Structure 1
Amino acid sequence: MAARLIAVLGTLLGAGVTHSFQRRSIERTERFTRAERLRQERIDAYCAYAGALVNYRRTLVDRWFGRTEPARRESDELRLRSYEMRSEAQEALFRVQLLTGDDELVRLAWETLDVVAEVHQTDDRGELAERRRVSREAINSFVAAAKQHVG
């Protein structure tokens, strides 16, 4: 009888230990899955934001040429398109804000949007080229900073 009781207790103890290990393993897997999902969402958000900035920048350059080139005229369509592109960039920025816990990255994202927004605000072709260069570097700096959060 005592041997039987010991066998039953041993079985119960073994089942309890096995259950504990399985539960820990499941919790680790769930944590990893959540972390990987967040990582992927961040990659998507950061890429979408950088892409929206590039599109916004391109539209502003088109506006500049439409305004300054004698053969072309800035159209309402170009102006409205630039507003749409800015809205898309801001929407993408909001997603970045929601997915990152790094205030410095959010600050850099806002600064980059501001730099891009200034691209077309000149009448000088040389200044336009400089603003394009600076905005391209700002976008690349944002991407480099964001990369540290997904690696």
Structure 2
Amino acid sequence: MEAVAASAVAVLGTLFGSALTYALQRRTVMRTERFTRSERLRQERIDAYSAFGGALANYRRGQLDLWFVKHVHGAESDVPEMRREAQRLRAAALEAMFRVQLVTEAADVVEAGRQAMRAIDRLSKAESRPELDRARDASRTLIYDFISTARPRAVVAENS
């Protein structure tokens, strides 16, 4: 009878040990998967935020180039080409903004990006050099504001 009891205890102990090992390993795997997913999202955010910041800077440069061709250089023949280039740069910035919207749930980041886009849109519409200078300063500030707003979201993934 003792041998049967000892065997039963050994079998139950083995089953309990196996179940406990399974539970602990499963928890470790889930934690690792959660960390990996969070890190991948963080990297995607960094990529999206920096790509959008760069696209905003390029679009801003294109708008300024267009303004100078129209108002300073007087090269009317270059205006259509510069306008197309500014439109291409705006499309690239919009594409980058859409990517930002896809990788973040932070409304303040998206709004900061939209404000920067609107400020850059206004550059080529400036009627005078002082007006352009104010719009240029505002657009630069809003690009930096976007990056400042996005930075904390890139350091730690949301909902992790």
> TM (normalized to structure 1)?
0.95
Whether contact under 8 Å (2:108, 2:149) holds in the other structure is no
Whether contact under 8 Å (2:48, 2:100) holds in the other structure is yes
1:13 is the counterpart of 2:16: yes
Matching residue of 1:93 = 97
Q: Secondary structure at the match of 2:124?
A: coil
Q: Distance in 1 between matches of 2:136 and 2:47?
A: 25
> Which 10-residue stretch deviates more, 106-115 or 49-58?
106-115
1:109 to 103, 107, 113: 113
Moved over 4 A (4+): none
2:28 to 25, 33, 47: 25
Whether contact under 8 Å (1:112, 1:135) holds in the other structure is yes
Distance 1:36 1:52, change over 3 A: same
Whether contact under 8 Å (1:65, 1:72) holds in the other structure is no
Q: Secondary structure at the match of 2:9?
A: helix
Whether contact under 8 Å (1:93, 1:109) holds in the other structure is yes
Residues 8-42 of structure 1: CA distance to partner in whole angstroms, max 9, x if unpaired? 11011101101100000000000010011111101
1:132 is the counterpart of 2:142: no
Whether contact under 8 Å (1:53, 1:89) holds in the other structure is yes
How big is the shift at 1:71? 5.4
Q: Distance in 1 between matches of 2:108 and 2:148?
A: 13
Matching residue of 1:47 = 50
Q: Distance in 2 between matches of 1:129 and 1:122?
A: 9
Which runs of no fewer than 5 residues in structure 1 stay unpaired?
Answer: none
Q: Secondary structure at the match of 1:120?
A: helix
More helix by share: 2
Distance 1:19 1:47, change over 3 A: same
How big is the shift at 1:2? 1.0
How big is the shift at 1:70? 4.0
Matching residue of 1:59 = 62
Distance 1:6 1:39, change over 3 A: same
How big is the shift at 1:122? 1.4
